[in-house]
């Protein structure tokens, strides 16, 4: 059944790293759950406000106590992760009344296989685009990169743990300034205890 989806957003400045984080979601009032639609990193608060304005998003006003509670848990979990506490954020979502709706985010069989392989990579581990392709019986490692570039939930779906075969970092989120995105990816790996020098 078709349902109008009202996207709300909230954002915060993590305790540890520089970028601001914005979280977009749909609050399912009847289920008392949030459907997480996107996580993005921004250099500045002004960049976030411009993004909200352009997309005509509604700032979260926490009308519901349960909504407020879930968002606080989510922010705390991300902050805990960024301080170096070993947390599998994908698994953590299951205990928070947070829905990820991966089938609608990754619509093809190939992209779902890529994501299912990726979420098995634990904090502190890394893999390569070609290794993921091999695990899903494909040679299309460039297509793996395309799926990850369009990942709307970095941190939750840990695309930062995928590096190039030659040991270089590769891109991160696909839409950022290259140096800034690469440095952020390096910082996330370092937080997990995975030092990449290239």
What are the structure tokens assigned to 132, written together? 């993921």
Terminal C-alpha separation, the chain: 49
For residue 62, what pLDDT is reported? 64
Q: In the predicted model, what is the mean pLDDT of residues 49-59?
A: 87
CATH fold for the domain made of 105-191: Arc Repressor Mutant, subunit A (1.10.10)
User: Per the residue annotation, which of 114, 159, 169, 173 is the catalytic one?
Assistant: 159
pLDDT at 2 > cutoff 50: no
The residue among 147, 152, 150, 123 whose CA lies nearest residue 133 is 147
Instruction: Name the pTM for this structure.
Output: 0.87
Q: Is 80 annotated as catalytic?
A: no
Q: In the predicted model, what is the mean pLDDT of residues 147-173?
A: 88
Residue 117 pLDDT level (bands cut at 50, 70, 90): very high
Of the chain, the percentage scoring pLDDT greater than 90 comes to 49
pLDDT at 168 > cutoff 90: no
Q: What is the 3-state secondary structure (H, E, C) of 3-24?
A: CCCCCEEEEECCCCCCCEEEEE
pLDDT at 177 > cutoff 60: no
Residue 136 pLDDT level (bands cut at 50, 70, 90): very high
Mean pLDDT of the chain: 87
For residue 194, what pLDDT is reported? 77
Q: What angle do CA 78, 38, 155 make, to 5 degrees?
A: 35
When mean pLDDT is compared across 52-61, 119-128, 150-159, the lowest value belongs to 52-61
Give yes or no for a contact between 86 and 77, defined as CB atoms under 8 angstroms apart: no
What single string gives the DSSP state of each residue in 91-119?
Answer: HHHTTTTEE--HHHHS-SHHHHHHHHHHT
């Amino acid at each position: 059944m078709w349902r109008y989806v009202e996207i709300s957003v909230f954002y915060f400045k993590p305790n540890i790293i520089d970028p601001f984080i914005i979280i977009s979601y749909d609050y399912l009032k009847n289920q008392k759950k949030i459907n997480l639609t996107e996580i993005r990193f921004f250099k500045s608060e002004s960049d976030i406000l411009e993004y909200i304005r352009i997309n005509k998003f509604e700032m979260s006003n926490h009308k519901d106590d349960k909504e407020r509670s879930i968002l606080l848990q989510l922010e705390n979990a991300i902050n805990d992760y960024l301080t170096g506490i070993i947390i599998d954020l994908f698994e953590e979502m299951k205990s928070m009344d947070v829905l990820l709706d991966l089938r609608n985010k990754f619509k093809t069989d190939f992209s779902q296989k890529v994501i299912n392989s990726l979420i098995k990579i634990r904090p502190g581990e890394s893999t390569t685009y070609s290794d993921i392709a091999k695990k899903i019986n494909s040679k299309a490692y460039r297509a793996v990169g395309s799926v990850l570039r369009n990942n709307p939930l970095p941190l939750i779906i840990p695309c930062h743990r995928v590096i190039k075969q030659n040991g270089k970092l590769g891109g991160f989120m696909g839409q950022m300034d290259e140096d800034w995105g690469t440095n952020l990816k390096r910082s996330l790996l370092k937080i997990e205890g995975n030092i990449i020098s290239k």
